[in-house]
Structure 1
Amino acid sequence: MNSPVGASRQSWFGRNRMTLLTVVIVAAYASFIEWFWGWSAIIAQWAAVGVMPILVALALLTSTYFLRTWRILDYFPRETAGSFGTLFRVTQVHNLLNIMMPFRTGETSFPVLMRAEFGIALTRATSALLVMRLLDLHALLAAAGIGFAAASPNAVPAWFLWAAFLFLPITAFLIRKPLLRLGFRLFPAKAQGFLSEIENGLPANASAFARAWAMTAVNWLVKVVVLAWALSLMGVWPLTASFGGALGGELSSVLPVHAPGGVGTYPAGITAGAIALGAPGGKAALAALAQASINAHLLIIVSALTGTAISLPLGRRRQL
């Protein structure tokens, strides 16, 4: 029989195991950087870039969080009316947890926070989040497809496939009602309420869908351009390689396999994307690219922390 102290200790570890795992992995990552490159070399690369470009990049990256909040505000206009500050705080807490928790487990915080703050049903918030994540993934893949289509020896079919993929969300939106009707016919009665909440989580009409799609495109355009610019300042060339690196890093962040804090996976995504779009593969070039990818990753983490710090004074969470 477990003692109260032992049970309490087990309960504490159960509640905080993901946080502890994150701390251990981040600490191991920091130690690896010190052992392999040395933090002095990493900081020296920041110093070579200069303070002003870093501040501009941070400001632009942080601005994308406001656009994300606007997208969610537009998704739930009735429930979130007049609560931009509170919603910004929710999105920043969700974003930070999503970055720091492994295997996308931080995503679960979004529906929980939306229910706590705005009374939105878990299934509705979850379905809305799924749609937004699919739009995010589509925007990044479409951007990456530009580079591959441009480099393809068969230009006409490559650009045709890219255009078909680009308009895939429109097709999905147009056929959503027949698909839902089919689901209502096929699913048992107990699932009807769940399907109804999924339907409620979709954009209400074509105008709402167009706004969500446009805000998604602008958000990722700004983020990828800023990251590509930062990578180019850190010596990642040619310019196509810096864009490939930015896309690779961000793609790694929206895929299901995601390490705590993006440790390892985000820099690996940058490196893979840069090499795929023309970065040189020599030993010295790869070492420089690895350093640049780590610094770009740190830039993303600092921007998330900055956005969270800005959001903390905004709004107060209502008690359930």
Structure 2
Amino acid sequence: MTLGTVAIVALYAAFIHYVWGWGRVVSLWSAAGWGTAALALALLLATYVLRTWRIYDYFPHETGGRFGTLLRLVQVHNLLNIMLPFRSGEASFPLLMRREFGVSLTRATAALLVMRLFDLHALLAAAGVGLVLQTGGATGAIWAWTLWAAFLILPALAFALRGHAFKLAEKLLPAKGKTLLEEIKAGLPLDANAFARAWGATLVNWFTKIAVLAWVLGLLGGLSVGPGFGGALGGELSSVLPVHAPAGVGTYPAGITAGALAFGADAGGMALEELGKAAVNTHILVIVSSLVGTALSLLAARPKRGD
């Protein structure tokens, strides 16, 4: 699988060089400013720390006092998710949690499932900001923000009504579905305070990441707010869905392009070419942030001398 991933990445790099030339692609950062690239990279790295804190708070007894080790685990899991196809990297999380912290496979898998539901909701809510900002007229904007706010609070309502929802689901679901339902129960936060912390951290994490990616797309591709948010959503959704290619080559930039066009980006010849180059650069930024984050996490997790 590793050799296959390396081969696909190499072919992708050759394809980009043939179509545009890497000099033209990377030159977009020179125009935007390398300080801008460093700031975007730092903000993406901050989201990894926040993502780690969410898990640290989710498993306080098991992970207490070992934040550096957990940061390394989260970064390795994230890197495997990016590099391996079809979301196969997700399987590493429960295995790593069991090895490093003694968390059972069932509990770690259930918690991951719940956190991924949080992630999907927060991702859509964050991208929805760009769509709402594109709404014209005061009346339309009020309705758009109202609908967005109603969508935003859905997880809180679902958590408050979880008891009734589980009882209804138990009556309707077949035996196999009930097994999955029990796993979801096991992966839920213990109480309202734990839920608020996990949900809040998820929202801040994804709002930051989507805003950074939309900002980068705006700088590199000349996109307005709506298409920028749409492109960020499309790229991230492509990495969440099962069609994710190794390292996201092809699928991530294609997701960005499709999302930006769906949110109103210009589909003209030159504009589409600029969007394509901006999408490739944004994809490179995501990969570099994951690699740098993993390298830094290895330093953070190093045992002290004498341990």
> What TM-score does the superposition give when structure 2 sets the normalisation length?
0.88
CA shift in 2, pair 1:144/1:193, >3 Å: closer
Question: Does the aligned pair in 1 maintain the 2:127–2:232 contact within 8 Å?
Answer: no
CA distance in 1: counterparts of 2:176 and 2:209, whole angstroms: 42
Q: Does 1:141 align with 2:124?
A: yes
Q: 1:48 aligns with which of 31, 34, 40?
A: 31
Letter in 2 for 1:64: T
Question: Does the aligned pair in 1 maintain the 2:133–2:226 contact within 8 Å?
Answer: no
Q: 2:214 maps to what in 1? A: 228
**Cα distance, 1:43 vs structure 2:** 2.1
**Cα distance, 1:234 vs structure 2:** 1.1
Residues 110-152 of structure 1: per-residue CA shift (max 9 Å, x gap): 0000000000011111111111111111011122334445556
Q: 1:104 aligns with which of 71, 82, 87?
A: 87
Q: 2:234 maps to what in 1? A: 248
Letter in 2 for 1:251: L
CA shift in 2, pair 1:35/1:195, >3 Å: same
For the residue of structure 2 that corresponds to 1:204, the secondary structure is coil
For the residue of structure 1 that corresponds to 2:61, the secondary structure is coil
Q: 1:3 maps to what in 2? A: none
CA distance in 2: counterparts of 1:289 and 1:143, whole angstroms: 21
CA distance in 2: counterparts of 1:60 and 1:214, whole angstroms: 17
Q: 2:40 maps to what in 1? A: 57
How much identity, in percent, do the aligned residues show?
Answer: 62
Letter in 2 for 1:230: V
CA distance in 2: counterparts of 1:167 and 1:45, whole angstroms: 38
Report matched runs for 1:291-310 at 5 Å: 291-310=277-296
CA shift in 2, pair 1:91/1:287, >3 Å: same
Consecutive unaligned residues of structure 2, counting only runs of 5 or more, are: none
**Cα distance, 1:164 vs structure 2:** 3.1
CA distance in 2: counterparts of 1:92 and 1:108, whole angstroms: 14
Report matched runs for 1:1-320 at 5 Å: 18-149=1-132, 151=134, 158-181=144-167, 198-315=184-301
> What TM-score does the superposition give when structure 1 sets the normalisation length?
0.85
Consecutive unaligned residues of structure 1, counting only runs of 5 or more, are: 1-17
Q: How many residues align?
A: 300
- RMSD over aligned CA atoms reads 2.5
CA distance in 1: counterparts of 2:93 and 2:260, whole angstroms: 32
**Cα distance, 1:191 vs structure 2:** 9.6
**Cα distance, 1:163 vs structure 2:** 3.3
